Amino acid sequence: MNRLTRTAALAATLMATCLLAPGTTAHAASGDWLSLTVTRPGTTGGDTRAALLLCDPPQGHPKAAEACAELAAADGDFSRLGDKDTLCPLIYAPVRASAQGSWHGKRIDFERTYGNACEMGAETGSVFALEG
């Protein structure tokens, strides 16, 4: 299965799981939501983590409240997230982050590979902090 097919299957599974959870159907169908994945391509099996972030109320993500607040402050613009002044080590351990969904009625389709997890965190704040 190629990466796009795996991502689509994962997003469908996350959405189905969310839609079956009591009280989340309306939010996932019409509110702010993002299907997030973080993959470490250099690891055995790709080490992929995923979450369905819902923001009204914040849920489905280890740091849902923080991620939703940061996205709200940036108006859903990923280039405005994070702390660009963070200093990260120059260790190459690539991390691929992707987000698909909807933010204030606007379609979100974001994907980027960072040099390491520190760079990803510095550029995206809590949005891709899926490790609890």
Any idea what the CATH number is for the domain that residue 26 is in? 3.30.350.10
Evaluate whether residue 130 is within a structural domain: no
Residues 6+ apart with CB under 8 A from 48: 6, 10, 37, 38, 39, 40
pLDDT digit string, tens, across residues 94-106: 999 999 999 999 9
pLDDT digit string, tens, across residues 50-60: 999 999 899 99
CB of 22 closer than 8 Å to CB of 47: no
Evaluate whether residue 132 is within a structural domain: no
Evaluate whether residue 39 is within a structural domain: yes
The domain containing residue 78 runs over which residues?
3-124
The amino acid that residue 112 corresponds to is R
Angle at 32 between CA 95 and CA 97, to 5 degrees: 5
Evaluate whether residue 129 is within a structural domain: no
Q: 12 in helix, strand or coil?
A: helix
Q: Whole-prediction pTM value?
A: 0.74
Enumerate helices (H) and strands (E) in the chain, giving the number of each: 4, 5
